[in-house]
């Protein structure tokens, strides 16, 4: 379900340009195989945002086949990327995609339950007094965005930007008449709670966008 007009989306995507031929072919294969990946209009927005933020360290929660991690690595050639996934079917494919590309050398691929991996990273950060992330992309289990955000926030530098994808969940968040809404009512409940939480915090700057399947762009206080 497209949450905006198909005609508007088609018009926007008419300006879409992949970073290189490698990513173009990668996207095409993922789309043909119906593998989860960022939508074209979302990628365009992220490319613009990354030019503004100029991150040195990027954290991604939700790897799938590794498209977005490689997009981050190619768009930000001086950045280090950490990406997390637990799906046993995605992990070997993503690892192969990283291993066969030069950009993969800057990708720290961590596997397992994201909450557990993030807790380990928080302990590592405290022990090593290491610099935090300045850009985070959350695109994993929708009912766990609050837990992901709370942990990611502890790993971030002041002023970091956190982007959460698919927050409108094919329109289910605002209209239960959309097909599939009833099956996902628990996810919808937790997503609404998460969005209420970040918007109620005075120390966060939050913007909710209808781009793609909905984005929450959050800037931490400095």
Q: What are the extents of the domains in the chain? A: 6-220
Nearest Cα residue to 133 out of 112, 109, 158: 158
With cut-offs at 50, 70 and 90, classify the pLDDT of residue 92.
very high
The pLDDT score that the predictor gives to residue 211 is: 84
* pLDDT greater than 80 at residue 184: no
Taking residues 171-190, report their average pLDDT.
Answer: 69
The pLDDT score that the predictor gives to residue 156 is: 96
Return left, alpha or beta for 170; rule: phi > 0 is left, psi -120 to 50 is alpha, else beta: left
* pLDDT greater than 80 at residue 172: no
DSSP type of residue 211: S
**pLDDT tens-digit map of 52-85:** 999 999 999 999 999 999 999 999 999 999 999 9
Nearest Cα residue to 81 out of 136, 152, 149: 136
% of residues, the chain, pLDDT over 70: 92
Angle between helices 40-53 and 6-13 (to 10 degrees): 50
CA 162 – CA 218 distance, rounded (Å): 5
CA 154 – CA 198 distance, rounded (Å): 15
Mean pLDDT of the chain: 91
* pLDDT greater than 90 at residue 126: no
**pLDDT tens-digit map of 25-56:** 999 999 999 999 999 999 999 999 999 999 99
CA 111 – CA 109 distance, rounded (Å): 7
Taking residues 107-123, report their average pLDDT.
Answer: 96
Nearest Cα residue to 18 out of 44, 52, 38: 44
Higher pLDDT, 154 or 128: 154
The pLDDT score that the predictor gives to residue 72 is: 98
Neighbours of 120 (CB within 10 A): 12
With cut-offs at 50, 70 and 90, classify the pLDDT of residue 174.
confident
CA 59 – CA 69 distance, rounded (Å): 9
With cut-offs at 50, 70 and 90, classify the pLDDT of residue 168.
confident
CA 82 – CA 208 distance, rounded (Å): 25
Lowest mean pLDDT among 11-25, 44-58, 78-92, 162-176: 162-176
CA 221 – CA 176 distance, rounded (Å): 35
- In CATH terms, 6-220 corresponds, of 1.20.120.340, 3.40.50.80, 3.10.20.30, 3.40.50.150, to 3.40.50.150
The pLDDT score that the predictor gives to residue 129 is: 66
CA 34 – CA 37 distance, rounded (Å): 9
Taking residues 184-209, report their average pLDDT.
Answer: 91
The distance from CA 1 to its chain's CA centroid, rounded to whole angstroms, is: 20
CA 161 – CA 49 distance, rounded (Å): 9
């Amino acid at each position: 379900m497209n949450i905006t007009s198909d005609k508007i989306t088609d018009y926007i995507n008419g300006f879409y340009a992949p970073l290189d031929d490698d990513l173009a072919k990668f996207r095409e294969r993922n789309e043909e195989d119906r593998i989860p990946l960022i939508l074209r209009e979302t990628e365009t927005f992220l490319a613009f945002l990354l030019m503004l933020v100029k991150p040195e360290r990027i954290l991604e929660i939700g790897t799938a086949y590794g498209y977005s991690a490689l997009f981050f690595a190619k768009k930000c050639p001086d950045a280090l990327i950490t990406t997390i996934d637990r799906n046993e079917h995605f992990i070997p494919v993503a690892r192969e995609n990283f291993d066969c590309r030069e950009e993969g050398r800057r990708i720290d691929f961590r596997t397992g339950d994201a909450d557990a991996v993030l807790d380990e990273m928080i302990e590592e950060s405290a022990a090593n007094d290491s610099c935090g992330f300045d850009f985070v992309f959350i695109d994993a289990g929708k009912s766990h965005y609050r837990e992901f955000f709370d942990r990611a926030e502890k790993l971030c530098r002041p002023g970091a930007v956190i982007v959460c994808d698919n927050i409108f969940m094919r329109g289910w968040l605002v209209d239960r008449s959309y097909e599939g809404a009833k099956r996902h009512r628990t996810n919808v409940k937790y997503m609404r709670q998460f969005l209420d939480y970040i918007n109620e915090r005075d120390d966060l700057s939050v913007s909710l966008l209808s781009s793609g399947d909905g984005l929450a762009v959050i800037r931490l206080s400095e």
